[in-house]
A and B are shown apart, each in its own frame.
Chain A
Amino acid sequence: MDDPRPSPSPVDVVVVGGGIAGLEAALDLADQDYAVLLVERESSIGGKMIALSKTFPTLDCSSCITTPKMSAAFHHPRIRILTSTELERVEARAGSRRVHLRRKPTYVDNGLCIGCRLCEYACPVEFPDPFEEGLGAQRAIAVPFSNALPQKAVLDARHCIACGACVKACPTDAIRFDQQEERFTVEAGAVILATGFGLNALGLKPEYHASQSLNIISPMQLERLLAPHGPYGRVLRPSDGKVPGSVAFVLCAGSRDLSLGVPYCSRICCMYSIKEAMLLSGALPVADLTVYYMDIRAFGKGHEQFYQNAKAMGINFVKGKVARIDPVDHDDLSLRVELEEEGGRVEERRHDLVVLAQGAIPVLEPATALGVPAAPDGFLNQPDTVRITCTDIEGVFAAGAALGPKDIVDSILEAGAAAMEAARFLAARAPASSAAGKSTASPPSVHA
């Protein structure tokens, strides 16, 4: 349940991150009757997965899998959810973990807001919608997206002109322009970090000129274009609303590259690019689709077959590293590519939309958040090669892409493992009188 009031009451486990890994870990623990506090820095739970169109290699609808998990966690009597709340740091002392959190103002009293969106309809300002990766428009006060949880309006102070139209429109007088940032601390028996990953900047490689063309897009932007309720309702290129006739995917555009400081493989790009190409071939049946790759890493269950299916569907796979991307006339792009399978012949190829597979990078700074050094790749260190969800701090566990780039299936597996480690840790430290270290306090979720 979403609780508008931060409370310092102790909980069994604090799960940091409300993406698929955090949701799964929270549900696994709450189903064992542990009292869980789930904190999410965005204004809705769901993480990256709720924004995806479909998943690989099964082409299942992504939100159809994520939404029930979000709902189960949101309505679970043993899970309390704090959105717009960021982890500052975890302070581990003998026997206790103090989790320092910061709740950003949403300028809405969630106890009063009924999610009717009348404020949103009344708001006169729109700005590039972050959920639509900037491609759509969002009002300055809005429910973040259609299946967001909580279904509560959030005001964006950077774009609001403070005209008061939302206050006048709100039937429950829920808008709070005097809301302030709050810092508070929660005592937890154990902590699970499921903070996910970030993506490095699209313009990181100057030779790709991403800042000079709106038709060089990120894979997440393409996910939104492919989503049934995406910003344009169909796949169009952002520069001029044209139905693209020739789309290129450039793999390893932000990872496996020492010069970018990202020498590792991001592990998900080959497969999501194949998936996106497959979905595009459905959305744009006559489009010419080309994937430029160094090598295809289809190592998971069903992945190789997925790759072979894509080739059979007529998607072109070209082995070769793209050296340059230059904007040319008609908003098109020219790719300079060395064709490895044609003796290294260099060719200029023209496309009208290019998708760059950005590198997956860490978002959590272990030094700041935990006071311990990161692993060489910048992600959380895994000191135990067998118990991979343990961190350098006793009682603090981690799951999903916080430990390194990985796909949804692996993130969910790790979330289960981290929940198990946390449960074992709590049970081992519990006094004989309590049942496996579970808090006997009533469910910690009470609406103000």
Chain B
Amino acid sequence: MAALTEAHKAALKRFRELRKQKGGDPGKAAAQFRQERKAVESALKRGPATVPELARASGLPAHKVLWHLAGMRKYGTAQETAQDGDYPKYASTLSPAEAPAPAPAQP
């Protein structure tokens, strides 16, 4: 892994400035993405679950959970494990140390 050179930093700065001029700021979307992903990862820490179960545990809409699971499957941090009625179950492939701590169970 290489370090950022001064030239890289200058190019990154110009890139950010140019985009700001055009009115684009993906920072908010990226922060939301990270928050949601963490919520799904932490919900998965309680063991394999279906999309509706994970939605209840994470407080996210079910379609968002499914979308995150698609990304996690693609990049190797989740997998389908079993089937519960009409819904497949998903499990984390992260080791307990890598995954965020599970949120307290909702009443």
Q: Which residues of A come within 8 Å of B, CB atoms?
A: 107, 121, 124-128, 132, 135-137, 139-140, 157-162, 164, 167-171, 173, 175-178, 214, 231-234, 236, 238-243, 245
Contact = CB atoms under 8 A, between A and B. Distances in A.
B70 A135 contact: yes
Contact of A161 (B9, B30, B69, B74): B30
A160 B26 contact: yes
A50 B54 CA distance: 33
A139 B76 CA distance: 13
A428 B94 CA distance: 66
A236 B66 CA distance: 9
A118 B69 CA distance: 21
B3 A241 contact: no
A177 B12 contact: yes
5 contacts: A136-B67, A136-B71, A167-B2, A178-B11, A178-B14
B70 A178 contact: no
B66 A240 contact: yes
Contact of A126 (B1, B33, B52, B66): B33
A161 B65 CA distance: 23
Interface string B26-49: 110110011001000000000000
Tell me which of A157, A171, A234 has the highest count of chain B C-beta atoms within 10 A of its own C-beta.
A157
Contacts of A232: 66, 69-70, 73
Given A136-B70, A157-B24, A241-B69, A164 B87 contact: no
A125 B66 contact: no
B70 A164 contact: no
Contacts of B55: 240
A226 to B, nearest CB: 15
A239 B67 contact: no
B67 A135 contact: yes
B4 interface: yes
Contacts of B15: 107, 157, 162, 177-178
B6 interface: no
Per CB-CB distance, the 10 closest pairs between chain A and chain B, nearest first, are A137-B71, A241-B51, A177-B11, A240-B62, A177-B15, A178-B11, A241-B66, A231-B70, A136-B70, A125-B30
Contacts of A124: 30, 34
A176 B70 CA distance: 29
Interface string B70-98: 11011100001000001110000000000
B2 A173 contact: yes
A164 B73 contact: no
Contacts of A164: 4, 8-9, 12
A329 to B, nearest CB: 14
Given A124-B34, A137-B68, A161 B8 contact: no
Given A125-B30, A241-B69, 17 more contacts: A126-B33, A135-B67, A136-B74, A157-B15, A158-B26, A159-B26, A159-B30, A160-B26, A170-B2, A171-B2, A173-B2, A175-B8, A177-B12, A232-B66, A234-B88, A241-B51, A241-B62
B37 to A, nearest CB: 8
Contact of B11 (A158, A159, A176, A239): A176
B62 A162 contact: no
Contacts of B80: 233-234
B8 A167 contact: yes
Given A136-B70, A234-B88, A167 B4 contact: yes
A171 B87 CA distance: 41
B45 to A, nearest CB: 19
B26 A161 contact: yes
B30 A168 contact: no
A137 B75 CA distance: 9
A17 B88 CA distance: 40
B14 A128 contact: no
Tell me which of B4, B19, B67 has the highest count of chain A C-beta atoms within 10 A of its own C-beta.
B67
Nearest to A123: B75
A330 B9 CA distance: 50
B1 to A, nearest CB: 5
A280 B86 CA distance: 16
Nearest to B37: A126
B58 interface: no
Contacts of B34: 124
